[in-house]
Amino acid sequence: MRALLRRQRYLLDYSLSSLARRPGKHLALLLVYSLVVFLLASTLLFTQSLRREAALILADAPELIVQRLVAGRHDLMPADYLDRLGQLRGVSDAYGRLWGYFYDPAVKANYTLLVPRQEPPVPGEVRLGAGVARTRGLGVGDYLSLRSARGEPFSFRIAGLLEAETELVSSDLLLLNAEDFRRFFAFPADRFTDLVLRVRNPSEVRKVAEKIALALPDTRPILRDEILRTYDALFGWRQGLIIVLLGGALLAFVIFAFDRAAGLSAEERREIGILKAIGWETGDVLRMKFWEGAALSLTAFLAGYLLAYAHVFFFAAALFAPVLKGWAVLYPDFRPLPFVDGLQVATLFFFTVFPYTVATIVPIWRAAITDPDQVMR
Amino acid sequence: MKAPGPLPAPWRKSGAFLWTIGLATVLWALTFVHATLTTRAAADDLHRRGALVSQLDLTDFALFTEARYTRHPSQADLHSPFQDHPLALEHFPTGSLVPASAGPSWTGWLEAPAASSPE
């Protein structure tokens, strides 16, 4: 066993010396290889983190939301729908939600104005999400002036700020009283934005949604499961999109690496010929080349993965922020939580380390089994 | 004359390489430890976010705030990107990255009115 290990170590020594003989070429390969792993790993880690967090946090979202559609577009919900839906068998509670969007031309940002069901602010006061407070430079006790739907100026006193830890879901929120909301938007008194239904038995949620679709054909029930699926699909889509965008670069790398690994230069052929002529066995040549490929790909994988981990979880995925942010003024200040999926990392390892290592061995095997004299010529 | 033996281990290239790879592997393993500890320590924050979602009946992340139809991807209606006129092209960067909707739900809400039409 000891002899075997010592033998492998000598082979590794030789492989490293062989790599060091062409430092520029191999360093360039290592750099590009690490960069490819870094980009792939960053994408996987970031989307996995958001996907997992969405699944955890949005598990507390309403079980069933009912929205009204008119000509295929979202419309306000008549209050009498609430009575009809509340009487459906299996529904334990039904209430209307009041929320809407407000574009603030002062900072060119969209706010989400929402009326909380529990502990709403007193009339004339609002509670702000951390993003709004930061963008407008407001604190508790300050006043926020906005122009209402009728063009009247409204001045709200800031009664409190939502916790910074909740920014991922509350960054652009502006919580206000129902009266203020209706006056501000000139919102009809007999309308809600949409309705929330609580269903006693979770296994009946789908049945209730079916009943709603039949009883009120102009409505669209949205299940909590669908919300969770939307986020799963959304981050999957984003991940897929980034990987597709990276596709060109990946393909270029594969061609580059394959050419580097599979195409033997005359110098390398001569080297193999000499090794065989001085008594190296085919197996030794293959092992030596295996170590060469393994050293390169393992180093690239570890460097790329560690850099990606630091990028996503210590530097809040700074390279991806512009993609997510778009032209948004209000962007939550958040740091993704490291929900690492072991299977994803194993897949990344397999698809980055193995193909290169195997690709290096095949042409060497071809050269190593031919006559040394013929190889050297 | 005595034949020169192998160089002491730390001076050999393989020694330096194995040390480097070993160190990187330890760091790699530590990322999993870090991930476990960090997510465990963030349980309170996650709970707070979940509580706010439950308290305010929230449905979406506040990640895409640039256009109103990207703010709530789970609630958006399918025609929003064409809000200006039917041939208007999507012009918000997020709109091209966020699918406008996850598509018809299990009830096939686009078909629902037809299924329940009075005819």
Q: How far, in Å, CA of A47 to CA of A234, rounded?
A: 9
Reported confidence tier of residue A255, pLDDT bands at 50, 70, 90: confident
**What's the confidence (pLDDT) of residue B106?**
41
Pairing label, strands A219-223, A64-70: antiparallel
Of A304-308, A316-320, B84-88, the one with minimum mean pLDDT is B84-88
Dihedral sign for Cα atoms in the order A211, A213, A218, A223: positive
Of the candidates B14, B58, B77, the beta carbon closest to that of A69 is on: B77
Report percent pLDDT > 70 for chain A: 96
Contacts of A162 in chain B (CB under 8 A): 52
| Of A347, A150, A334, A312, the residue nearest B34 (C-alpha) | A312
| Of A344, A358, A361, A356, the residue nearest A250 (C-alpha) | A356
> Among A73, A74, A311, which would you mutate to test the B interface (most chain B Cβ atoms within 10 Å of its Cβ)?
A74
**Residue A183 reports pLDDT greater than 90:** yes
Q: How far is CA A93 from CA A62, A88, A169, in A?
A: 11, 10, 24
**Residue A261 reports pLDDT greater than 70:** no
Pairing label, strands A99-104, A219-223: unpaired
Cβ distance B31 to A162 less than 8 Å, yes or no, reads: no
Contact A335, A50 (CB under 8 A): no
Q: Which helix (H) or strand (E) holds B22?
A: helix B13-41
Q: Please tell me which residue, A69 or A243, carries the higher pLDDT value.
A: A69
Dihedral pair phi/psi, residue B100, rounded to 5°: -55, -30
Pairing label, strands A125-128, A77-78: unpaired
Cβ distance B31 to A306 less than 8 Å, yes or no, reads: yes
**What's the confidence (pLDDT) of residue B39?**
93
Tell me if chain A has a CB within 8 Å of the CB of B81. Answer: no
Looking at chain B, which residue has its C-alpha nearest residue A207?
A: B107
Interface of A with B in 140-199 (CB under 8 A): 162-163, 165-173, 175, 194, 196
Residues 6+ apart with CB under 8 A from A112: A99, A100, A101, A172, A173, A174, B62, B65, B71
Tell me if chain A has a CB within 8 Å of the CB of B8. Answer: no
Report pLDDT digits (tens) over A43-63. Answer: 889 988 988 998 999 988 888
Report pLDDT digits (tens) over A209-220. Answer: 999 988 888 898
Contacts of B28 in chain A (CB under 8 A): 302, 305-306
**Residue A300 reports pLDDT greater than 70:** yes
Tokens at residue B114, please?
A: 């037809």
pLDDT tens for chain B, residues 1 to 119: 455 665 555 568 888 889 999 999 999 999 999 999 999 999 999 999 999 999 999 988 888 887 777 788 887 665 565 655 666 566 666 666 665 554 444 444 434 333 333 32
Cβ distance A129 to B64 less than 8 Å, yes or no, reads: no
Average pLDDT of A306-330? 86
Cβ distance A59 to B50 less than 8 Å, yes or no, reads: yes
Q: Please tell me which residue, A70 or A362, carries the higher pLDDT value.
A: A70
Residues 6+ apart with CB under 8 A from A168: A53, A57, A332, A334, B49, B61, B62, B63
**What's the confidence (pLDDT) of residue A184?**
94
**What's the confidence (pLDDT) of residue B29?**
95
Q: Please tell me which residue, B88 or A197, carries the higher pLDDT value.
A: A197
Cβ distance B102 to A234 less than 8 Å, yes or no, reads: yes
Q: Which stretches does DSSP call E strand in B1-119?
A: none
Of the candidates B38, B63, B117, the beta carbon closest to that of A337 is on: B38
Reported confidence tier of residue A371, pLDDT bands at 50, 70, 90: confident
Reported confidence tier of residue A324, pLDDT bands at 50, 70, 90: confident
Alpha carbon of B4: minimum distance to chain A alpha carbons (Å) = 15
Q: How far, in Å, CA of A96 to CA of A166, rounded?
A: 24
Q: How far, in Å, CA of B79 to CA of A222, rounded?
A: 17
Q: How far is CA A98 from CA A27, A170, A245, B50, in A?
A: 60, 16, 40, 20
**What's the confidence (pLDDT) of residue A369?**
75
**Residue A275 reports pLDDT greater than 90:** no
**What's the confidence (pLDDT) of residue A281?**
84
Interface of A with B in 294-313 (CB under 8 A): 295, 298-299, 302-303, 305-306, 309, 313
Report pLDDT digits (tens) over A123-139. Answer: 999 999 999 999 999 98
Q: Please tell me which residue, A112 or A327, carries the higher pLDDT value.
A: A112
Interface of B with A in 38-67 (CB under 8 A): 38-39, 42, 45-46, 48-67
> How many of the other CB atoms lie within 10 Å of CB of B103?
14
Alpha carbon of B99: minimum distance to chain A alpha carbons (Å) = 7
**Residue A338 reports pLDDT greater than 90:** yes
Cβ distance A167 to B24 less than 8 Å, yes or no, reads: no
Q: How far, in Å, CA of A219 to CA of B109, rounded?
A: 8
Q: How far, in Å, CA of B37 to CA of A78, rounded?
A: 49
Cβ distance A60 to B51 less than 8 Å, yes or no, reads: yes
